[in-house]
Amino acid sequence: MDQCYGGIEAGGTKFVCAVGSHPDDLHKESFDTTDPQQTLTRAVGFFKARNSHRPITAIGIGSFGPIDLHWDSPTYGFITSTPKKGWANTDIVGRIKASLDVPVAFDTDVNAAALGEHRWGAAKELTNFIYLTIGTGVGGGGLVNGKLLHGLVHPEMGHICLPRHVEDTYRGNCPFHNTETSYSCFEGLASGPAMTERWGQTPQSLGDDHKAWYLEAYYVSMAIVSYVCTLSPQRIIIGGGVMKHEKLIGLIRHKVKEMLNDYVQAAALLESIEDYIVLPKLGHNAGVVGAIELAKLAAVDSR
């Protein structure tokens, strides 16, 4: 039997916990994200119950952010300045480690999902790619030069500035990037809640031909163009709730090509954009499968 690992996709709305070793060997449970005490206790309970009959080698956590990823920082493993009520300065790694006594790996939810897609999904053998999520929030992670993208902190791809469409009077719902002296950011203009606020109805309830989808494709495409010019990824994977609208990915592919206007001379963009901008192969499992992959890295590091 394969080694068994634990994975936590720590989302702002929902936690997904799983044990197993690969996408076809997963025992999952998901529950609402309430306060940290209750939520983390429930996660610990999930792993303790399973640990007794199949010991867990290590646990990986892909978390909503911002988070502290610097090993040498006193707040390593914390969710830091999140506006999410009750969760600012939460020592998520410390809590899991103290209760379960196994190596714990920690990264952003989007970097975890990127790792899942790299091992089992749409980014196999790529060294440079981006995983985006467009849902309650907008974020991005990925690999560059074969390693997960970190730096000063970690990417906050949802907060790049985008030009507002000339016909869009909505300024965006990001509390940081909605002021006179700031700018309108990608997340503020294009997240699920932003769509709901702009149109007065949820994305799920918008008809197939509603102009909302054209505007959404416009913003997502503009962001992709900027990522392409900044990182030169070999592929872009887009997950998240808003992408469940089937028509959207096609609109985005069309618009990205139109906007780049053949400037970047690469066959992937010029000739096969449908293989360049793709949905996650692991679907909504990308995050938790990636968290399991993070756990495998932690197990190797701790040997």
CA distance 44 to 56: 12
* List of residues contacting a copy of itself (CB under 8 A): 66, 80-81, 128, 140, 144-147, 149-164, 176-177, 179, 181-185, 222, 225-234, 258-266, 268-269
SS3 26: strand
Q: Which is nearer to a copy of itself, 147 or 303 (CB)?
A: 147
> CA nearest 71: which of 95, 93, 102, 99?
93
CB of 2 to a copy of itself, least distance (A): 29
CB of 61 to a copy of itself, least distance (A): 19
Centre a 10 Å sphere on the Cβ of residue 214 and count the other Cβ atoms it contains.
14
Q: Which is nearer to a copy of itself, 47 or 227 (CB)?
A: 227
CB of 121 to a copy of itself, least distance (A): 19
CB of 102 to a copy of itself, least distance (A): 27
Residue 290: enclosing H or E segment and its boundaries?
helix 286-301
CA distance 279 to 3: 29
- For the four alpha carbons of 57, 62, 68 and 70, in that order, the dihedral sign comes to positive
Q: Which is nearer to a copy of itself, 57 or 226 (CB)?
A: 226
Q: Which is nearer to a copy of itself, 52 or 145 (CB)?
A: 145
CB of 296 to a copy of itself, least distance (A): 19
Q: Which is nearer to a copy of itself, 2 or 275 (CB)?
A: 275
CB of 128 to a copy of itself, least distance (A): 4
Q: Which is nearer to a copy of itself, 169 or 265 (CB)?
A: 265
Q: Which is nearer to a copy of itself, 56 or 217 (CB)?
A: 217
CB of 142 to a copy of itself, least distance (A): 10
Cβ atoms of residues 185 and 160 within 8 Å: yes
State the residue for tokens 């197990």. 299
Residue 134: enclosing H or E segment and its boundaries?
strand 129-134
Q: Tell me the DSSP string of 185-254.
A: BHHHHHSHHHHHHHHSS-GGGS-TT-HHHHHHHHHHHHHHHHHHHHH--S-EEEESGGGGSTTHHHHHHH
